[in-house]
Structure 1
Amino acid sequence: MSGLGESRSSKDYISHHLDHLQLNLLNFKWVDPNSTDPVPFWTINFDSLFFSFTLGLLFLLLFRKVAVSISSGTPGKLQIMVELVIGFIDKNVQDMYHGKSKVIAPLALTVFVWILLMNFMDLLPVDLLPYLSEHLLGLPSLRAVPTADVSTTLSMALGVFILILFYSIKIKGVSGFIKELTLRPFNHPVFIPINLLLEMVTLISKPISLSLRLFGNMYAGELIFILIAGLMPWWFQWILSVPWAIFHILIITLQAFIFMVLTIVYLSMASSEH
Structure 2
Amino acid sequence: MATEAHGSTAYIVHHLTPLSSGEGFWTLHFDTLFFSLFLGLVFLMAFRMAAIKATTGVPGGLQNFAEMLVEFVDTQVKDSFHGRNPLIAPLALSIFCWIWLMNFMDLLPVDLLPSLGKWMGLSYLRVVPSTDLNATFGMSLSVFALIIFYNLKVKGVFHFGKELLFHPFDHIALVPFNILLNVVEYIAKPVSLALRLFGNMYAGELIFILIALLPCYIQPVLSFPWAVFHILIITLQAFIFMVLTIVYLSMAHEEH
1:18 lines up with 2:2 in the alignment? no
Q: What is the CA distance between 1:138 and its match in structure 2?
A: 1.1
> Where does 1:7-156 land on structure 2 (aligned, <5 Å)?
9-24=7-22, 39=23, 41-134=25-118, 136-156=119-139
Q: Name the SS of the counterpart of 1:234 in structure 2.
A: coil
Task: Please list the CA deviations of residues 196-224 of structure 1 after superposition, one character each: whole Å capped at 9, or x if unmatched.
Answer: 00011001100000000000000000000
1:93-152: CA deviation from partner (whole Å, max 9, x where unpaired): 011111111100000000000000000000000000011111x21101111000000000
- Distance in 1 (alpha carbons) for counterparts of 2:217 and 2:18: 28
Q: In 2, Cα distance between the equivalents of 1:176 and 1:234? A: 63
Q: TM-score, normalised by structure 2?
A: 0.96
Gaps of 5+ in 2: none
Residues 41, 91 of structure 1: CA spacing in aligned structure 2 closer, same or farther, 3 A cutoff?
Answer: closer
Structure 1, gaps ≥5 residues long: 1-5, 25-38
State the shift of 1:41 in Å: 4.6
Instruction: Name the count of aligned residue pairs.
Output: 252
The residue aligned with 1:256 is: 238
- 1:241 is matched with 223
Runs in 1 of length 4+ with deviation above 6 angstroms? none
* Deviation of 1:185 (Å): 1.0
More helix by share: 2
Post-superposition offset of 1:40: 5.3
1:210 match: secondary structure: helix
Whole-angstrom distance in 1 between the partners of 2:152 and 2:25: 34
Q: Which amino acid aligns with 1:63?
A: F
Return the alpha-carbon distance in structure 1 between the equivalents of residues 191 and 72 of structure 2: 26
> 1:160-199, aligned counterparts within 5 Å?
160-199=143-182
Shift of 1:267: 0.1
1:9 is paired with a residue of what secondary structure? helix
C-alpha separation between the residues in 2 aligned to 1:90 and 1:216? 28
Give 3-state SS (helix, strand or coil) of 2:147's partner.
Answer: helix
Query: How much does 1:194 deviate?
Result: 0.5
SS of 1:75's equivalent in the other structure is: coil
User: Match for 2:191 among 201, 204, 208?
Assistant: 208
Letter in 1 for 2:16: L
TM-score, normalised on structure 1?
Answer: 0.90
- Tell me which amino acid in the other structure corresponds to 2:192: S
Distance in 2 (alpha carbons) for counterparts of 1:65 and 1:270:
34
- Separation of aligned partners in 2, 1:9 and 1:128: 19
Query: Residues of 2 paired with 1:193 and 1:148: CA distance?
Result: 37
In the TM superposition, residue 9 of structure 1 has moved relative to its aligned partner by 1.2
CA distance in 2, matches of 1:249, 1:62: 20
Per-residue CA deviation, residues 12-68 of structure 1 (Å, 9 max, x unaligned), is: 1111101101134xxxxxxxxxxxxxx455320100000000000000000001111
Aligned to 2:218, what secondary structure does the other structure show?
helix
Question: What letter matches 1:259 in structure 2?
Answer: F
Give the AA of the match of 1:238: P
